Chain A
Amino acid sequence: MRLIGEEQLDDIALGAAILGTGGGGDPYIGRLLAREAIRAYGPVTMVDVDEVGADALVIPSAMMGAPTVMVEKLPAGDEIVNAFDRLESFLGRAATHTISIEIGGINSMMPFVLAARKGLPIVDGDLMGRAFPELQMCIPGIYGISTSPMSMADDKGNTAVIDAATNRWTERMARSVTIDFGCVALIALYPLTGSQLQQCSIPGSVRTAERLGRLVRETRVSHANVVDAIVEELDGHRLFEGKVVDVHRRTVEGFARAETVIEGLGLDAGATLRLHTQNEHLVAERDGTVLASVPDLIFVLDTETGQPITTEELRYGFRVTVVAAACDARWRSDAGLEIVGPRYFGYDFDFVPVEERLGASADGLLDMTQPARAPEESVLT
C-alpha cells in the first residue's frame, strides 16, 4: 500500500504513453484531471492485487471514445463519478476499490480521478497490460467474466446502463451510446470480486508504468541511450531502426488504420519495415517477414529521445526505433487469441510469440542459423 500524489503522476503518464503501443490517447488531459482531483481531494491510496480481499468489489473506471474529441470537449467533471455511482446503484452494492482497465494511454490516469473524488483506493494493476481498441479485449473475458453490467455518463447529465448477452454486444452497444454522447463517455464496467481480480488482472501495472517513466526521465538527464534503457526495462527486443518514409492512413469502421513504411538505418540499412496499425500497432514485418504481431506489444520510439510516437503523430522523416515486448502470457492462450489474435484484426496468419519469431538467443540477437518464418507469413492483400 502506498499513497500516490501529484509528483508520481508525470512518471506514470509517460510510462503509460509508451505502453499505449501507438494508441491509448494522449495522457496529458488525463494527467491534468488526475492532478486537479488530487489537489482538491488529496492523494490516492494504491494497494497491491494481493492486498484485496476475496469478497471485495472492484469496479474499473475509464473513458471510452475518441481521444481527439477529449482534447476538445473536456469533461464537465462529474461524469466519471456519475457513471460509477450509477453502476453501484444498479448492482445494489458499493465498490471497495477501483482499477485501471487499460494501462496504455489516458486510461492509466482516469481511475485516479475517480479514486480521489470518491476517496476509494485504487488497485495497482490493469486488465490489458497495454492498450486495445475494444472493451471486450480484457483478460477477464478469457475467463468468461462479463464486461457488463456497464454504466456510461456524459457531460449533460445523461447516464446509461448496459446489460448485454456477450462482451462483444456490450462493446457494440456502448460504442453506439458513445457516439450519441459526442464520441466521449466516462464509464464503469467489469465489476469484479476480489477473487476474480486475483485471477484475471495484471498486477503491478501502475508500478511498471511509473518505473518506465522514471527510467526515461533519468536516462535523458544523464544523456545515456533511452531506447536501450526501455528495451532492457521491458525485457524487449529491438526490431528495427530507421526513418519513416511513408504513412498511409484511412479510417475503417471508426478505427484509424495506418500503414507505415520505414527505411532502415545503421545495422538495418537496406531493409524496409512495414508497420500495420489500427489505433495501436498490430504487425511489424521486415521485407515480407513478420517480426512481431498483436497481442505482443509493438512500440515506436523516437530514436534519439525514446519518446513514444502515437499513430496520429507518425509522419515522414521521423527517425524511429521499433521495439517489441511480450504480452501477458494469458493473451497467448487459445481463448486469448480468439479475442485479440491477429486473425481477429483481419490478418491471415496465426500468432507466434515475438521471441520465437526472432529466434532469439539469450542476448536477444537474431539467430541467423535458423531460417526466418517462411514468406507465406507475410500479410495483407
Chain B
Amino acid sequence: MRIGIDVGGTNTDAVLMDGDCVQAETKRPTTDDVTTGIVAALRSVLETGGIAAGNVDAVMIGTTHFTNAVVEGRRLVPVASIRLGLPATRSLPPLVDWPDRLRTAVAGETYLCHGGFEFDGREIAPLDRSEIQRVAADIAVRGLRAAAVASVYSPISAEFEERTAEILREEVPDLSVTLSSQLGRIGLLERENAAVMNASLSELASRITGAFRAALVQLGIDAPLYISQNDGTLMTAEHTERYPVATFASGPTNSMRGAALLSGESDCAVVDIGGTTADIGVLEQGFPREAKATVDIGGVRTNFRMPDVVSLGIGGGSLVQDTGGRVTVGPHSVGYELIRQALVFGGDVLTASDIAVAAGRASFGDASAVVRLAPDVVRRALRVIETSIAEGIDRMKTTAGDIPVVMVGGGSVLLGDVLAGASRLVRPDHFSVANAVGAAIAQVGGEVDQVFSIGALTRAQALELAREEAADRAVEAGARPDTVRIVDVEEVPIAYIPGDAVRIKVKAVGDLDYGRQRVAAHR
C-alpha cells in the first residue's frame, strides 16, 4: 500500500495504490504552508481507500517547489561560490553567464582558489589549506549560510571538494555545503551552476521536507518518506534536503511514468495538458527519453538529466481570441483563475475550456454560457489546438509512423478521439492524477558518470566496474538487490586525449525494498 503525492503550484494530487492498482485518488488546492494541503489529500485517500495510517508502506512525493523557486528567483539564499582550479579558470568566474535577476538573488560572494585535476588525474595545483581558511573566515564575516564548491574534473575525483568542505566546516560548523561532484557530469560551468542553485535552495529544502514530514506525523503515518527525482527514481527526504535540485524534472517525469502505467503503453508520446501548458514527452521502454546535453533553468545553463519535453502554450485556461479572421489559442492563460474567469464559470474570458464545453468534449460549469459562440470560431479553435499538439508530437517522434498517444492532465479534454499522427489516442482512468501515480510507482536508482583511462583497464573491465558501482549505488539508495537492473549504458570516447580515455555513464534501477526501509526507519 503506497501513497503517491504530487505537490504542484496549484493543486496537490494524491493516490493510494495497492501494487499497480489505484484504490483512491484526490485533488486538493496546494496551500501556502504546504502541510495543510498534503494533510487534506492524505486524509481523503485514506478514508476513501478505507486504509488505516499504520498500514501505509511508503509515501512518495513529487514536487515542483524547488524548480519554481529558481525559475521565479524567490525564496533563495545567497551563496558562497567556491571554485577550485587556479591558476586555470580565472577567465570565466562563477555566475559569469547568469541572468542579472537570478545572479542578484544568489550572489553572496565568489572565490577562486587553487586545486582541481587535469584530465588525467594530475593536480592542476595542490589545495592550499590557508587559502580555504581565509575563504571560510570571509564567509563567516559575511554571514553566508550556504556554499557551493566546484573543482575542475571533480567527476574524476571528489577529493579536492571533500577536503575543502571539511576545512569550511571547521570554521563555519553549520554551513550548508553542496559539492558539484555529487551533481555529476562533465562541464565545469554547468556543474558549478547546478551546485550554486542547490546551495541557494538549502533553506527552502529544509522547510519543504519539514513540511512533508509534519504532514505524515499529523496523520500518524510512520512509513518511510521518499521524494521523486529527475529521472523518475526516488530519494530519501534526507537526501532531498541536501540535493533539492535533484527534484527539478520530477514533475514531467512522474506524469509520463504514471501515463505509462495507467495506459499500459511503454513506447508512446505522452501529452500532459494542464491549465497553461501542454507538455509533450516520449516514453521509450517505459522511461522518458532524455533531453540532450544542456538544459536551461531560469536562464542558467545546466547539465541536469531531464526528460525531453516540449512545452506548448496551450492549456485549459488559455485565452481564445478571434482577431481579423485568425483564431489563436494561448499562450496567455487565466491559469488557476479559470473557475472565476471562464465563461462557463460566470466570467467574461473566452478560454479553451469554454471551447471544449461548447464542442461537447467536456461538461462542467454552465453550458448555456457558451451556446451563443459562433460554431465557426469553436471549430477553428479546436483545429488550432489539435494541429499544434499534433505538430508537437511529430517533433518529438523518432519514427515516421504513427505512435500511440497517451493523454493526461485535466486539460486533456481539449482533444477529441482522433489526432493526426496518433495510432491510438488513450485517455486512461485516473488520467488527472497521473503525476501522483508516477510518484507512487517509482523505483530507486544508482548512477555512475566517470572518465576511465583505457590502458590500465580494458574497456570490458571499465564497463564492468561502472556497472557494479551503479548497481551498488542503487542498493545503497534502497533497492532490493535481486531487482536491480542496468537501464542505461553510455560510452563516449574523448577526442584528442591519449590513452584512449572514455567516459562511461551507467544507470541502474531497482524496486524499493520496503522491508529494509521500515527496519531502518525504526532504528
Contact = CB atoms under 8 A, between A and B. Distances in A.
Given A73-B88, A304-B395, A249 B400 contact: no
B494 A73 contact: no
A256 B85 CA distance: 27
Interface stretch (B37-45, B203-211, B242-250, B496-504): B496-504
Interface in B470-523: 490-498, 500-502
Contacts of B292: 313
A183 B91 contact: no
Given A32-B97, A243-B398, A265-B400, A156 B492 contact: no
Nearest to A244: B398
A77 B292 CA distance: 29
A183 B89 CA distance: 15
Interface string B282-311: 001000010011000000010000000000
Contact of B495 (A67, A155, A318, A319): A67
A82 B64 CA distance: 48
Contacts of B500: 251
Contact of A73 (B96, B152, B398): B152
The dominant DSSP class at the B interface is loop
A76 B90 contact: yes
Contacts, number: 129
A156 B366 CA distance: 73
A168 to B, nearest CB: 17
B307 to A, nearest CB: 14
A179 interface: yes
Contacts of A71: 186-189
A72 B92 contact: no
Contacts of A317: 284, 289, 398
A249 B491 contact: yes
A179 B453 CA distance: 14
Interface in A38-72: 65-69, 71-72
Q: Which of B87, B120, B496 has the most CB of A within 10 A?
A: B496
A364 interface: no
Interface residues of B, number: 44
Contacts of B498: 179, 254
B90 A266 contact: no
A33 B96 CA distance: 10
Interface residues of A, number: 45
B116 A183 contact: no
Contacts of A182: 118-120, 122, 124
A279 B89 CA distance: 25
Interface string A226-237: 000000000000
A313 B119 CA distance: 20
Contact of A72 (B97, B119, B493): B119
Interface string B387-418: 00000000101111000000000000000000
A279 B497 CA distance: 12
A244 B118 CA distance: 34
A330 B138 CA distance: 60
A182 B123 CA distance: 10
A269 B89 CA distance: 48
Contact of A155 (B88, B491, B501): B88
Interface string B95-126: 01100000000000000000010111010100
B306 to A, nearest CB: 16
A371 interface: no
Contact of A183 (B97, B189, B497, B502): B497
B89 A76 contact: yes
B398 A68 contact: no
Q: Which of A68, A71, A256, A315 has the most CB of B within 10 A?
A: A68
A74 B186 contact: no
The 5 A-B residue pairs with the shortest CB-CB distance, nearest first, are: A77-B91, A256-B495, A66-B496, A251-B493, A155-B88
Given A71-B186, A75-B90, 12 more contacts: A29-B92, A32-B96, A36-B92, A36-B96, A69-B119, A73-B119, A75-B89, A77-B91, A179-B497, A182-B118, A256-B494, A257-B493
21 contacts: A23-B495, A29-B92, A33-B91, A36-B91, A66-B496, A68-B494, A68-B495, A72-B152, A72-B187, A72-B188, A74-B189, A76-B89, A77-B91, A178-B496, A179-B498, A182-B122, A183-B119, A249-B492, A251-B500, A254-B495, A257-B493
Interface of A: 23, 28-29, 32-33, 36, 65-69, 71-77, 155-157, 178-179, 182-183, 243, 249-251, 254-257, 265-266, 269, 279, 304, 311-313, 315, 317-319
